[in-house]
Amino acid sequence: MKHILPDRLKPGLKLVFCGTAAGRVSAERQAYYAHAQNKFWKTLFDVGLTPRLIAPADYEILWEHGIGLTDIAKFSFGMDHQLPKDALGAEAVAALKARVTKARPAILAFTSLNGGRKVMGARAVAGEQPERLGETRIFILPSPSPLAANHWDIQPWRALAKAVKAL
């Protein structure tokens, strides 16, 4: 079975962003965070993680900046509530942990509270987590999705950028 979007993981990355699943627009365009109103790419630039604004179709160049991409649900797409029941379940979480443990990025950042809680537990809050995945530090960020605009806060993204720059 083929992944909806390819993992962009390799050893030596400073940071890996992890979504819950590709959205419909991202799946159609075969690009991470491709919805026009998604704040992901603009936020990366605004907090200084990329030197220029990158288009979703150019996501592969993030490796040049030490950044990788993945999702918890690799075989389904859509909004979290539209996903099959097991898409964010124990098997998907175990597979994500295995991929991250193998790649060993310095930091793994979940791009939604829901995604972070699927892996870190129901009580997890935004920001850096006290737990690690092997040596990998974990951050949970407010979702850049347009559907989560009423919960948007760039501050945890700024804290993440500060942590990455300190590596």
Show the tokens assigned to 29: 């365009």
- Which domains, and CATH codes, for the chain? 15-165 (3.40.470.10)
Show the tokens assigned to 84: 């099959």
Give the C-alpha separation, 17 to 84, whole Å: 22
- Residues near 106 by beta carbon (within 8 Å), at least 6 away in sequence: 13, 14, 15, 135, 136, 137, 164, 167
pLDDT by residue for the chain (167 residues), tens digit each?
889 999 999 999 999 999 999 999 999 999 999 999 999 999 999 999 999 999 999 999 999 999 999 999 999 999 999 999 899 999 999 999 999 999 999 999 999 999 999 999 999 999 999 999 999 999 999 999 998 999 999 999 999 999 999 99
Residue 2 C-alpha from the chain's centroid: 19
Query: CA angle, corner 70, sides to 65 and 73, nearest 5?
Result: 170
Show the tokens assigned to 122: 């129901």
Q: What is the DSSP letter of 31?
A: S
Q: What is the DSSP letter of 121?
A: -
For the stretch 66-97, pLDDT in tens is: 999 999 999 999 999 999 989 999 999 999 99
User: In the chain, what is the straight-line distance between the N-terminal and C-terminal CA atoms, in Å?
Assistant: 36
Residue 123 C-alpha from the chain's centroid: 19
- Residues near 109 by beta carbon (within 8 Å), at least 6 away in sequence: 15, 16, 17, 18, 138, 139, 140, 141, 160
- Residues near 94 by beta carbon (within 8 Å), at least 6 away in sequence: none
Q: Is residue 88 classed exposed, middle or buried when 0-12, 13-18 and 19+ CB atoms within 10 A define those classes? A: buried
* Reported pTM: 0.97
